[in-house]
Amino acid sequence: MTNRKYENVQEAEDVGFRYTPDHFYFNQPGKSYVTDMAHYQRLYDESIADPELFFDQMAREFLHWDKPYTKVKWGSLEKGDIAWFLNGELNACYNCVDRHAFQTPDKSAIIFEADDEKENRIITFSELLREVSKVAGVLRSWGVQKGDTVGIYLPMIPEAIIAMLAVVRIGAIHSVVFAGFSAASLKDRVVDAGCKVVLTCDEGRRGGKTIHMKNIVDEGLNGVDSVSKILVFQRTGNANIPMTSGRDYWWSEETAKQRSYLPPVPCNAEDPLFLLYTSGSTGSPKGVVHSTGGYLLGAAITTRYVFDIHPEDVLFTAGDVGWITGHTYALYGPLSLGTPTIIFESTPAYPDYGRYWRIIERYKATHFYVAPTALRLIKKSGESEISKYDISSLRMLGSVGEPISPELWEWYHEKIGNKDCVVCDTMWQTESGSHLIAPLAGAVPTKPGSATVPFFGVDTCIIDPVTGMELKGNDVVGVLAVKSPWPSMARSIWKDHNRYVETYLKPYPGYYFTGDGAGRDHDGYYWIRGRVDDVVNVSGHRLSTSEIEACISDDEYVSEAAVVGIADDLTGQAVIAFVCLRDPDLNAGCGDIETSMGGDATPPDFHRELVLQVRREIGPFASPKAIIIIKELPKTRSGKIMRRVLRKIVSNEADQLGDLSTLSNAEAVPDIMDAVKQQFFSKLAH
Ligand code: WTA
């Protein structure tokens, strides 16, 4: 296969940031496991020069093995046959629960901060072992075997963590579906994963509102015969939840029948630990497959060294367990180290903007990890709340999921960190399993806006997207790739290994391709510029433009659609949909989704209907901010949509359209500009 050329790599700067001057911060020096930059550099060089030796030491130190491995590293990026810790056996649940329950039974494992603060509770390691064993017992009594997949559709409550650990305790594979996904998205994922059993709850609570979880499950799994059993946790205890006899069972009743200890099942290091669906540039969501040994090691060592976690620390990861951040840094990372993890059910604005700071004060959290989108919200609306709380327990402030601008970085450092905390901008992905590029707190000096330097064993490089050649040296810009396998990298796409190879390993043969544009400055620091493929990042949620396009194109009036992401003050990026009608002479009215009056031919609520369609099919977080009706999409001679042109126009950068010589219908451009002016800019002005 030939190298792929990403047309928008040059524009990736729109969502990334230009280099700031050499403005280094060095917070909390001298207290960390890795003492300084020279120490980091020595360890990093060792990890690249002799990964077998380096990760053998790490795997022995951080994990409990039931059976030792016979070889540390195997396979290549050329072949896509990657394996770590061959023939070794371990159980991830044992590593996260049992060994700590034996040593520190009364230590907090899960600190639950409920939507309503009156419902907060703490679960110790010994209690966690009991709860997990009981749920594992239920699953086993239902015939769930090693290697089976189990679906989990639960909000941010301790039972989500308990469910995940129970599944891996018996060697099964969990597939968590984010609780914000619609019934249709849940169904797609459960069917693709082949889940026999699903764990959910009656209702969720978020920001004082009720989410009808069980209803969504019933709707999504209606007619899905492969799911034979559903375990329902009573989160709110609503007595009117319909239960299908022979399929649905109450969590409390079933667990009451089980013993409080069930032995963990040893798994091969390469046995899948979990699947997590994520959006790519094309096609349906991919079930990213993570391994038991390599993944768990990556989670443990990045949590230890990037966050610099010590035994007495408390980690507050404010990401949802439905995404990779929740998997790695709310569950597997902290619990594998025996570190208490704060599980937060609510939102940063409920009941007021002081919520995060109250949590940190209450539990003396030392580490706080959040997406920039939440920080932007607080900066805009809730800054005055910060000083009301004592958050001096904090040592590290993490950022994840999207680029953090230098301005927001400085704000975080000053307003939340009192200029005394390390800001760790961590760049990674669902597929990487754990941090790829991030400063080690207390060791690596930071620069606002840069994710800094690669983690141990991650041999990052910048590739020229056009020639496919690696750009050596410093001061280079291109796409971000990795030169050799690291332990926690995804091993496959569920039931489609070929797609794994095509997506990540073929674009630049011999390299793992991240999909991101990036630069390396004169200090060797990395600056992430955003996706160069058709993936948008809304409030840290990863979405594929093609998925949204497919959903909009299903509408009977729509012939074609193109979706682009544009910069947004609050959500990082926002989704804008360009739509062509089947009958171009129809007047669909003009207007954004809020003010549309409809037109002569399409239904009056046409815009709203398209938005609802996206909400129903994918989930509310994927809703387009605007729908703009145009006559024709800009296309290349080979028929490819030039999204760059649409993105530039709707970002008010029509003067920077760049080279249009490959466009087959350049005459469409002025029409698009007019449409954007009338249907989008004029509405923004109001
Ligand atoms: C983006 C989230 C800039 C990037 C952990 C990546 C970031 C995608 C950062 C993965 C960061 C994540 N700076 N961009 N610190 N962290 N990204 O799979 O585009 O939901 O490819 O994993 O988010 O999103 P995912």
Indicate whether residue 426 lines ligand 1 (CB < 6 A). Answer: yes
Q: How far is the CA of 245 from the centre of ligand 1 (A)?
A: 42
Atom of ligand 1 nearest to the CA of 404: 13
Among protein residues, the one whose CA lies closest to atom 11 of ligand 1: 427
Indicate whether residue 235 lines ligand 1 (CB < 6 A). Answer: no
For position 19, what pLDDT does the model report?
Answer: 53
Contact 300, 344 (CB under 8 A): no
Average confidence (pLDDT) over 455-477? 94
Residue 232 has pLDDT above 90, yes or no: yes
SS3 558: strand
- Predicted confidence (pLDDT) per residue in 534-581, tens digit: 888 898 888 888 889 989 988 999 999 999 999 898 898 999 999 999
Residue 429 lies inside a defined structural domain of this protein: no
For position 133, what pLDDT does the model report?
Answer: 98
Atom of ligand 1 nearest to the CA of 535: 19
Residue 338 lies inside a defined structural domain of this protein: no
Residue 260, token pair as written in the block: 């409080």
Q: Report which of residues 665 and 20 the model is more confident about.
A: 665
Query: Which residues lie below 8 Å from residue 580, measured CB to CB, with a gap of 6+?
Result: 558, 559, 560, 561, 629, 630, 631, 632, 633
Q: Which residues pair with 396 in a beta bridge?
A: 367, 422
Q: How many domains does the chain have?
A: 2
Residue 505 lies inside a defined structural domain of this protein: no
Q: How far is the CA of 430 from the centre of ligand 1 (A)?
A: 8
Atom of ligand 1 nearest to the CA of 426: 15
Indicate whether residue 401 lines ligand 1 (CB < 6 A). Answer: yes
Q: How far is the CA of 329 from the centre of ligand 1 (A)?
A: 14
Atom of ligand 1 nearest to the CA of 514: 21
Of 247, 265, 283, which residue constitutes the final position of a domain? 265
Atom of ligand 1 nearest to the CA of 430: 18
For position 4, what pLDDT does the model report?
Answer: 38
Residue 546 lies inside a defined structural domain of this protein: yes
Atom of ligand 1 nearest to the CA of 540: 20
For position 604, what pLDDT does the model report?
Answer: 76
- Mutate which of 176, 402, 535 for ligand 1 pocket (most atoms within 8 A of beta carbon): 402
Among protein residues, the one whose CA lies closest to atom 10 of ligand 1: 429
User: Interhelix angle for 213-221 vs 183-193, to 10°?
Assistant: 60
For position 599, what pLDDT does the model report?
Answer: 42
Indicate whether residue 451 lines ligand 1 (CB < 6 A). Answer: yes
Indicate whether residue 189 lines ligand 1 (CB < 6 A). Answer: no
Cis, peptide link before residue 351, omega less than 30° from 0:
yes
Residue 241 has pLDDT above 90, yes or no: yes
- Mutate which of 397, 409, 542 for ligand 1 pocket (most atoms within 8 A of beta carbon): 542
Indicate whether residue 429 lines ligand 1 (CB < 6 A). Answer: yes
Of 232, 250, 265, which residue constitutes the final position of a domain? 265
- Residue 200 belongs to domain with CATH number: 3.40.50.980
Among protein residues, the one whose CA lies closest to atom 23 of ligand 1: 401
Its sign, for the CA torsion 359, 375, 383, 570, is negative
Residue 130 has pLDDT above 80, yes or no: yes
Indicate whether residue 557 lines ligand 1 (CB < 6 A). Answer: no
Q: How far is the CA of 480 from the centre of ligand 1 (A)?
A: 12
Indicate whether residue 425 lines ligand 1 (CB < 6 A). Answer: yes
Residue 671 has pLDDT above 90, yes or no: yes
Residue 210 lies inside a defined structural domain of this protein: yes
For position 27, what pLDDT does the model report?
Answer: 93
Atom of ligand 1 nearest to the CA of 323: 20
- Predicted confidence (pLDDT) per residue in 609-630, tens digit: 999 999 998 999 899 999 999 9
Q: What is the mean pLDDT of the chain?
A: 92
Residue 18 has pLDDT above 60, yes or no: no
Indicate whether residue 528 lines ligand 1 (CB < 6 A). Answer: yes
Q: How far apart are CA 94 and CA 82, in angstroms?
A: 25
- Predicted confidence (pLDDT) per residue in 265-283, tens digit: 999 999 999 999 998 766 6
Domain hosting 562: range is 535-590+602-685
For position 10, what pLDDT does the model report?
Answer: 43
Q: What pTM value is reported for the model?
A: 0.90
Share of the chain above pLDDT 90, in %: 80
Residue 16 has pLDDT above 60, yes or no: no
Q: How far is the CA of 201 from the centre of ligand 1 (A)?
A: 29
- Predicted confidence (pLDDT) per residue in 173-222, tens digit: 999 999 999 999 999 999 999 999 999 999 999 999 999 999 999 999 99
Indicate whether residue 428 lines ligand 1 (CB < 6 A). Answer: yes
Q: How far is the CA of 371 from the centre of ligand 1 (A)?
A: 10
Where does the pLDDT of residue 598 fall: very low under 50, low under 70, confident under 90, or very high at 90 and above? very low
Contact 419, 413 (CB under 8 A): yes
Integer angstrom CA distances of residue 542 from 28, 325, 430, 503: 32, 12, 10, 16
Q: How far is the CA of 566 from the centre of ligand 1 (A)?
A: 16
Residue 586 lies inside a defined structural domain of this protein: yes
- Mutate which of 8, 14, 321, 429 for ligand 1 pocket (most atoms within 8 A of beta carbon): 429
Residue 112 lies inside a defined structural domain of this protein: no
Indicate whether residue 286 lines ligand 1 (CB < 6 A). Answer: no
Among protein residues, the one whose CA lies closest to atom 6 of ligand 1: 429
Residue 295 has pLDDT above 50, yes or no: yes
Among protein residues, the one whose CA lies closest to atom 24 of ligand 1: 429
Residue 650 has pLDDT above 90, yes or no: yes
Average confidence (pLDDT) over 363-382? 95
For residues 582-616, one letter each, b for 16 or more C-beta atoms within 10 angstroms of the residue's C-beta and e for the rest, the string is eeeeeebbbbbbeebebbeebeeebbebbbebbbe
Among protein residues, the one whose CA lies closest to atom 7 of ligand 1: 402
Q: How far is the CA of 491 from the centre of ligand 1 (A)?
A: 19
Of 265, 280, 296, which residue constitutes the final position of a domain? 265
Q: How far apart are CA 340 and CA 457, in angstroms?
A: 27
Query: Which residues lie below 8 Å from residue 170, measured CB to CB, with a gap of 6+?
Result: 136, 139, 140, 144, 145, 146, 262, 264, 265
- Predicted confidence (pLDDT) per residue in 410-420, tens digit: 999 999 999 99
For position 354, what pLDDT does the model report?
Answer: 97
Indicate whether residue 400 lines ligand 1 (CB < 6 A). Answer: yes
Indicate whether residue 340 lines ligand 1 (CB < 6 A). Answer: no
For position 535, what pLDDT does the model report?
Answer: 87
- Mutate which of 370, 427, 539 for ligand 1 pocket (most atoms within 8 A of beta carbon): 427
Average confidence (pLDDT) over 341-357? 97
Residue 5 has pLDDT above 80, yes or no: no
Where does the pLDDT of residue 594 fall: very low under 50, low under 70, confident under 90, or very high at 90 and above? very low
Residue 228 lies inside a defined structural domain of this protein: yes
SS3 272: strand
Least confident of 108-117, 553-562, 581-590, 661-670: 581-590
Where does the pLDDT of residue 3 fall: very low under 50, low under 70, confident under 90, or very high at 90 and above? very low
Q: How far is the CA of 28 from the centre of ligand 1 (A)?
A: 26
Q: How far is the CA of 229 from the centre of ligand 1 (A)?
A: 35
Contact 479, 9 (CB under 8 A): yes
- Residue 653 belongs to domain with CATH number: 3.30.300.30
Contact 538, 567 (CB under 8 A): no
- Predicted confidence (pLDDT) per residue in 431-446, tens digit: 999 999 999 999 999 9
Q: Which residues pair with 530 in a beta bridge?
A: 517
Among protein residues, the one whose CA lies closest to atom 22 of ligand 1: 429
Residue keyed to tokens 């239902």: 142
